[in-house]
């Protein structure tokens, strides 16, 4: 039997999110959420019995057309038109895991009973999630301000039987998939199209993915750096807790502690060293990795607040007899956090590439480019080029999106967050740093082979031996693309915490 998570007023945690993304996990509405949604919809229906009262997006046009009244017999068509006209995303198709997260976060936001949607509409989104019917969404087109309008319109098209979905591993027309599973298109009632399209769930889904994977990369960076520290015969003095306590930065303390735990009982560490100090890329690992760790902890809290909130407009307050038009859809909190997160994650790759460069330099008893018979063999020369290229690309991607704004909707929407662009860029940074760390890991393991018969710590040596079952020692030139791809897969399979 699949695990069932009941959507409720209780906050979703990152632990719950991770479990919900397993394919066998299903959603269901709790009675509290079902009642909140139904009561809000009932209130709105009563409110609509007074046709003379203008309520934005319910019986008016949208954006700068907010003063145009819509007749009662056109209200359903208004919502359908909204979804169709706003589904103009372009660019690459959003990864399936992000589409799944978008559905989940939209369901949670609608479940609080302040959006005016029907229970049936929320149930349809839940059915898509449970059956693995994932709307095809594109990653360009949102300004991150009036909600993620274009991507959420693509998310909403399948409710109407329109657009395309991913189902059973294939992109298919929604109409065909609905026929396969015995479902029919639905009509949208007043406010429903607006509630579906207004919101920060595109930014939120990317943000959650980037936070979870950014923190995983931070842990990987600590572990892989430990391999490099022994590979390049580094000193452990900079990791002494006495130094870390003088500064008292939480991330720095954690990073130094992690590395000392991973490094414990290393034979190589106990060898006599001739240098007085190591370069910053080794000596300042606690400070650099630690700063990224603190940044990610801050960003994690921003997104935790966001995914447990209501971000459409207007907001319906049935108990207070109010429908209030505001700006909860504006993505500024997320836009700033996404830019910050991009920089924090990119720095893990930047310092990693410098360690790769040092290990290939032909110093500290290692052969140049970590290969025998250099000249005939180039060894690991070019993976460092690849890492350097990715580091440079990340610098370009880390140009902040949130400092830009282009007015839209005839100046009604005159300041936008551009957080959606920041979200996609941050995702690319995550993927790039994953590759850079894999190159460092591959390089450090190659260097450690030249330290034999000395061994690193029991933990490092155990992982090293396991990895050598996947990627063998490089004794002469071969196609390194294969090694890099296998290494990416290998480090992605490492789970934390390590003991």
- Beta-strand ranges (E) seen in 114-263 are 134-135, 138-140, 164-167, 170-173
The CA-atom distances, in angstroms, between 452 and each of 139, 166, 455, 487 are 48, 50, 6, 21
Contact 89, 137 (CB under 8 A): yes
Which residues have CB under 8 Å from 52's CB, separation 6+? none
- Beta-strand ranges (E) seen in 218-277 are none
Distance CA 262, CA 219 (A): 11
The CA-atom distances, in angstroms, between 156 and each of 165, 174, 196, 450 are 11, 11, 7, 57
Cross-strand partners of 172: 165
Question: What stretch of H or E contains 317?
Answer: strand 315-317
For the packed helices 419-449 and 381-397, what is the interaxial angle rounded to 10 degrees?
160
Distance CA 162, CA 175 (A): 7
DSSP state string for 3-37: -EEEE-SSPPPHHHHHHHTSTT-EEEE-HHHHHHH
Catalytic residues: 56
Tokens of 228: 């490099």
The CA-atom distances, in angstroms, between 264 and each of 175, 261, 383 are 59, 5, 29
Long-range contacts of 305-308 (CB under 8 A, 24+ apart): 305/333, 306/200, 306/204, 306/207, 306/333, 306/334, 307/12, 307/17, 307/105, 307/108, 307/109, 307/204, 307/208, 308/11, 308/12, 308/108
Which residues have CB under 8 Å from 410's CB, separation 6+? 63, 64
Residue 340, helix vs strand vs coil: helix
The closest alpha carbon to 215, from 304, 284, 294, 307, belongs to: 294
Tokens of 443: 């390089």
In the numeric block, the tokens 């030139």 are attached to 477
In the numeric block, the tokens 């590395």 are attached to 259
Contact 163, 136 (CB under 8 A): yes
DSSP state, residue 374: B
């Amino acid at each position: 039997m699949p695990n069932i998570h009941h959507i409720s007023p209780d906050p979703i945690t990152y632990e719950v999110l991770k479990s919900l993304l397993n394919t066998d996990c299903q959603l269901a509405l709790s009675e509290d959420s079902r009642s909140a949604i139904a009561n809000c919809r009932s209130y709105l229906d009563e409110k609509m019995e007074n046709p003379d009262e203008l309520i934005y997006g319910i019986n008016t046009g949208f954006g700068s057309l907010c003063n145009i009244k819509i007749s009662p017999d056109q209200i359903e068509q208004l919502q359908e038109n909204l979804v169709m006209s706003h589904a103009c995303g372009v660019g690459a198709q959003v990864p399936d895991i992000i589409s799944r997260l978008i559905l989940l976060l939209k369901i949670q936001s609608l479940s609080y009973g302040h959006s005016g949607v029907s229970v049936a509409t929320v149930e349809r989104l839940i059915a898509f999630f449970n059956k693995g019917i994932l709307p095809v969404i594109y990653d360009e087109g949102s300004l991150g301000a009036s909600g993620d309008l274009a991507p959420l319109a693509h998310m909403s098209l399948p409710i109407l039987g329109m657009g395309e979905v991913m189902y059973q591993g294939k992109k298919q027309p929604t109409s065909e998939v609905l026929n396969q599973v015995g479902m029919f298109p639905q009509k949208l009632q007043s406010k429903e199209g607006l509630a579906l399209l207004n919101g920060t769930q595109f930014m939120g889904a990317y943000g959650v993915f980037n936070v979870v994977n950014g923190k995983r990369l931070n842990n990987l960076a600590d572990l892989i750096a430990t391999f490099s520290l022994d590979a390049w015969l580094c000193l452990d003095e900079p990791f002494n807790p006495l130094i870390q306590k003088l500064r008292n930065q939480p991330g720095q303390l954690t990073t130094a502690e992690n590395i000392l735990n991973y490094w414990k009982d290393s034979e190589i560490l106990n060898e006599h060293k001739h240098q007085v100090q190591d370069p910053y890329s080794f000596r300042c690992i606690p400070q650099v990795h630690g700063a990224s760790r603190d940044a990610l902890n801050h960003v994690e809290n921003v997104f935790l607040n966001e995914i447990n909130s209501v971000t459409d407009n207007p907001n319906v307050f049935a108990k207070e007899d109010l429908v209030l038009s505001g700006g909860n859809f504006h993505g500024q909190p997320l836009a700033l956090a996404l830019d910050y997160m991009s920089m924090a994650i990119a720095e893990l790759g930047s310092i990693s590439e410098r360690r790769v460069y040092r290990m290939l330099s032909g110093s500290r008893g290692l052969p140049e480019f970590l290969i025998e018979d250099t000249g005939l063999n180039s060894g690991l020369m070019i993976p460092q080029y690849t890492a350097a290229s990715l580091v440079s690309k990340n610098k370009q991607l880390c140009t902040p999106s949130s400092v830009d704004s282009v007015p839209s909707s005839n100046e009604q929407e005159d300041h936008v967050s551009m957080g959606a662009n920041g979200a996609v860029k941050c995702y690319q940074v995550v993927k790039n740093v994953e590759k850079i760390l894999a190159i460092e890991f591959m390089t450090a393991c190659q260097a450690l082979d030249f330290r034999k018969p000395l061994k690193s710590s029991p933990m490092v040596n155990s992982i090293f031996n396991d990895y050598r079952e996947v990627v063998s020692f490089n004794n002469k030139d071969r196609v390194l693309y294969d090694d890099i791809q296998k290494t990416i897969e290998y480090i992605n399979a490492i789970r934390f915490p390590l003991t």
